[in-house]
Amino acid sequence: MLFFIVFAPLLAALLILLGSPARWTALLGAAATTIATVLAFSRYQPGRGGFQFVSSIPISQSWRLHFLLGADGLSLTMLFLAALVLLCAIWFTPPLEKSERLFYVCLLLLADGAIGAFASLDLFFFYAFHELALIPTFLLIGIWGSGNRFGAAWKVTIYLALGGFILLLGLILLYRSVPPALRSFDLRVLQVLATHGGIATNAQNRIFLLLLIGFGILISLFPFHTWAPEAYASAPAPAAMLHAGVLKKFGLYGLLRVALPLLPAGAQHWNTLLVVLLSGNIIYVGLVTLAQKRLDWMLGYSSVMHMGYIFLGLASANFLGLNGAAVLMFAHGISIALLFALAGEIRQRTGTLVLSDLGGLGKVMPFIGLAFGLATFASIGLPGFANFAAEVMIFFGAFRVGADWHGFHLFQIATVLALWGVVISAVYMLRAYRTIFMGERSAAQFRGWNHSPDLAPILRIPVILLLAVTLVVGCYPNSILRVLRPTFSTPVISTNR
Amino acid sequence: MIPAPALEIAVLIWGLILLLAEAFADQTDRRGFATAGILGLLAVLVASFFLAPPPGATTTGFWSFYTADPLAIFFKRFALVTTILVLVMALDYAPAIRMGVPGANPHAGLGEFFTVPIFTCAGLMWMASAVDFVMIFVSLELVTMSFYVLVSFTRRNPVTLEAGVKYLILSALSTGFLVYGITWIFGVTGETNLARIGAVMTAQNFDRIPLLFGMALVLVALGFKIAAVPFQIWVPDVYQGAPTPVTAFLSVGSKAAGFVVLLRVLAPFSMLPQIGRLLVGIAALTLIYGNLAALPQTNLKRLLAYSSIAHAGYLLIGVVTFAGTAVAYYLVAYLLMTLLCFAVMVVVGNHAGDQIEDYAGLARRSPFLAFAMLIGMMSLAGVPFTAGFLGKFFIFDAAIRQHQTLLIVVGVITVGCGFYYYLKVIRAMYWLAPSAGAAPVEPSALSRLTMTLLIAAIFVLGVYPQPILDALNLPAGRAAISMTR
């Protein structure tokens, strides 16, 4: 099952290279992957917990390396997100002027990097799969990007490569910190070791810092976030959807899967630093977002800002906060992908994303207006959307930390700041919505309008799909919490406070 | 079962036969010689898998300066594969040779160009087995002599002549350092065999200063071979000026042999902390210089020259941490990816040039060549699922095990630099539009096959390192391999 999920996009990419029709092959591959993830999701048995659908191929005896696939609730949720966003990104790809084949191949490889990482139980392949996305990102931004695409492509690639290598050092250090007889990259083995205190506190502190910086660069943790807005602004819309929606979640997934459960003492040690940095994400980047004059840059910064909430859930490290973080990863992935897709559609129609040049679009493209409005509400975290459910869990989880403290604990201050962050994000999102869709039509140049400027009916399907998923999860969070819960009730996590 | 020394002898005899035949063949197509050379070396490569086990630990006679431990056998195969690939490239390069060699005969020079690498190969194979300073010196000279000829082969080209002269003078100088260093070491210990030098050093209490001085001189010579800073000045000019297949041979064969000798020579000296510190400094400088100087290059050959300096830096991390297996693995990865890049360069260079801008829009002109170059560059940069990544993985693992914090920090930062200049080539091929009048380039069937094999090997070794690790971890309790933990 997982084998199919991991290799279907690769297979589709290979077929496209060999000459089958690019768009249909890609769509078919992504659809098959999505269906397979839904099937896996429904066949997962939460009662049994742990990793299911495990399959393993030995690679190297001397390193005890296996190509090991397996999934629990967290990975299944992420796999579903990746497959769904991939499907929508391919669906949203407009007809291209140059090298269409290469575009779809890059898109599929980008998504497959994330999918492979989410499905891997072996840390080596978990890492390697993520880096699969590196060169496709470079090509996608460089060839089909807009604006300062050359600079952005270099920046994102070098940032991610460096972050990746720092992460690699952390993983090797983790591998080496275990007694020789037990050394392995197998996540399950390492988890058992961690529960029995197999990793020294001293080593934990060092490894956790490396992992935090490595993953932090990939997630755009403040102050390593500067690559993200520029990359998303320059990338073609489908690439931005996948990168902001899915690939960035790899880092968070890594923290949830590797750093927190395996290195609880290290997490404790660096918790204060993490809380300070994530407040930077929420408040500083939030204020920067307010000042943006272009929609794509604003969305890029807002996605950086929302990482702060997920970090808050991670840092709280209790059952409620971690579940909230996982749900928010999913919800944010969907809402940001939808926003980038719609922004791409607006750019295609108007030729600009400068906010002051746009206006009154709601009358000419009502469907885009409605969808953008709903996505805006989701992104702010209005009740009924998945983001709300997640943020509420995170806030309660984080506020509870240090509740027995006299006076205000650091976590409570951070939570209060984060709540104000919600206000900031409401301000910029609603303001953008008003400027773009309300008011008078501005004198902006509208190009490429043949008949109706609104979204073509065939393109409405992925929009409705994404909105439906976030609404279902928002109104009935148990739909994914049902499978997520066992992941976070393992003894490893609960010892962590 | 074949005794190990027979391999080199077979290679040497085959080279002599081809050279003699070439002298008497008047008007035949010289490309037959390359094919014959390739087939002969392939036969030796196959034979190397049916070797008789070497006799037990003998320290006298022939086996006192010749060893056939797994490391030696491994690098013999390495030299054979490299030479075969270089000969394949030389076949593609034949038109450029014809233009670069004076003389009315259309075959002038071709025969020698195809046969001299076989002698180099014999030298490289002996170097892999050398455990005695005399043997090291002699085999090193065999390699260097043949490179003197090869580097300045297309002598109508002034750039090539310049490269040849630079290589000749500096190489001769480094040889002088090597001999002088060996005499100092011999003067102190009274031995030239590496194992016995180690034994003398542990057994007796003697003055370390002259020994260190001799060792430093030897390191100068080996630093020249592997292109380590500060002995790297010759590299860019010679790499740029030499015929492309020879550049490939220099950067892979000569470097690999240098590292094998370095591993062997350092084994008895590992207890001297000064040497370790010196090597850490050299490694850090090499990493920084190679990577930073590669950043602004616009000529692909020069860029690969600086990148080869940079890779020498990563390899030196492995040497400093005594990770023989990691060094060997990195060298294999380096062989695959460098030769892949050079193979593409030979084909493209025949039609356009070696500037990076000549590669503009290659993805649209000849997708296969662009894809091959993409894989080569990805592997050189160290992207996972390629052999280059696993090479860096093992090297960094060794550095972490030995707590070489300085080298780790420098290494990670320079990896970031590497991404910049390797991606520059990818950018040219995939982002930029082809310049007007750039014709599509198609490789010959043989080089297409070779490139496909190299790409496949890069991916296979990128996920499945076990065959190489096994080849190096045969149960052999010899002194030299004991350090390749």
Specify the pLDDT at position B479: 36
Provide the percentage of residues in chain A whose pLDDT is more than 70.
Answer: 95
CA atoms of A81 and A335, how far apart (whole Å): 11
User: Closest residue of B to A166, CA-based?
Assistant: B412
A94 Ramachandran zone, left/alpha/beta (phi>0; psi -120 to 50) = beta
Mean of the per-residue pLDDT values of chain A: 86
Chain A residues within 8 Å of chain B (Cβ atoms): 59-63, 67, 99, 102, 127-129, 131-132, 134-135, 138-139, 142-143, 150, 153-154, 157-158, 161-162, 165-166, 168-169, 172-173, 175-176
Q: For B188-232, write each residue's pLDDT tens digit.
A: 888 888 888 888 888 777 778 888 899 999 999 999 989 888 888
- Supply the pLDDT for residue B462: 87
Q: How many beta carbons lie within 10 A of that of residue A477, not counting itself?
A: 21
Mean pLDDT of the B260-264 span: 90
Residue B104's pLDDT is 66
Domain residue ranges of chain A, discontinuous segments joined by +? 282-497
Q: 């030499």: which residue's tokens?
A: B242
Of chain A, the percentage scoring pLDDT greater than 90 comes to 26
Instruction: Report yes or no: B485 at the A interface, CB cutoff 8 Å.
Output: no
* B461 part of a folded domain: yes
How many angstroms from the chain centroid is the CA of residue A133?
13
pLDDT value, residue B465:
85
Q: Measured between beta carbons, which residues in chain B are less than 8 angstroms from residue A143? A: 430-431
Q: What is the pLDDT of residue B57?
A: 63
* Strongest mean pLDDT among A446-460, A475-489, B7-21: B7-21
Confidence at B59, pLDDT banded by 50, 70, 90: low
Position A52, amino acid: Q
Query: Burial of A6 by CB count in 10 Å (0-12 exposed, 13-18 middle, 19+ buried)?
Result: buried
Please compute the mean of the pLDDT values over residues B173-194 and round it to a whole number: 91
The verdict on B426 touching A (C-beta cutoff 8 Å) is yes
ipTM score over 0.90, yes or no: no
Residue B81 pLDDT: 93
Least confident segment among A185-199, A464-478, B183-197:
A185-199
Overall average pLDDT of the B94-100 stretch: 81
Tell me, yes or no, whether B126 lies in a domain.
Answer: no
Q: How far is A231 from chain B (nearest CA, A)?
A: 16
pLDDT at position B483, please? 40
Whether B148 is covered by a domain: the verdict is: no
Instruction: Tell me what pLDDT residue A350 has.
Output: 80
Q: What is the tens place of the pLDDT at every residue in B284-332?
A: 999 999 999 999 999 999 999 999 999 999 999 999 888 888 899 999 9
* Stronger pLDDT, B97 or B29, i.e. the higher one: B97
Say which residue, B482 or A433, is predicted with more confidence: A433
- H or E stretch covering B16: helix B5-24
Residue type, A104: Y
d(CA A242, CA A107): 8
Structural domain range at position B443: 319-485
pLDDT band at B11 (very low <50, low <70, confident <90, very high): very high
CB atoms within 10 A of CB B237: 18
Q: Does any domain span residue B97?
A: no
> Is B50 a member of any domain?
no
Q: Is the peptide bond before B54 cis (omega within 30 degrees of 0)?
A: no
Share of chain B above pLDDT 90, in %: 42
For residue A66, give the H/E element and its range.
Answer: strand A65-71
Q: Give me the pLDDT at residue B435, please.
A: 75
- Looking at residue B475, what is its pLDDT? 43
DSSP state of B299: B
Per-residue model confidence (pLDDT) at position B458? 93
Q: How far is CA A24 from CA A99, A133, A196, in A?
A: 15, 22, 50
φ, ψ (nearest 5 deg) of residue B341: -60, -45
Asked whether residue A81 carries a pLDDT value surpassing 70, the answer given is yes
CB atoms B466 and A59 under 8 Å: yes
**pLDDT surpasses 50 at A306:** yes
User: What pLDDT shows up at residue B123?
Assistant: 93
**The two structure tokens encoding residue A30:** 């992504």
Question: Can you give the pLDDT at residue A451?
Answer: 52
Asked whether residue B385 is domain-assigned, the answer is yes
Instruction: Dump pLDDT digits (tens) for A154-175.
Output: 888 889 889 999 999 999 988 8
B149/B143 Cα distance (integer angstroms)? 10
Beta bridge partners of B323: B484
Does the structure show a pLDDT above 60 at B485? no
- Position B349 in a domain: yes
Query: Which positions in chain A touch B473 (Cβ < 8 Å)?
Result: 62
Contacts of B465 in chain A (CB under 8 A): 59-60, 63
Looking at the structure of chain B, the number of domains it has is 1
Q: Is the per-residue pLDDT at B92 higher than 90?
A: no
Burial of B465-477, coded b for 16+ CB within 10 Å and e otherwise, reads bbebbebbeeebe
Give a yes or no: residue B354 inside a domain.
Answer: yes
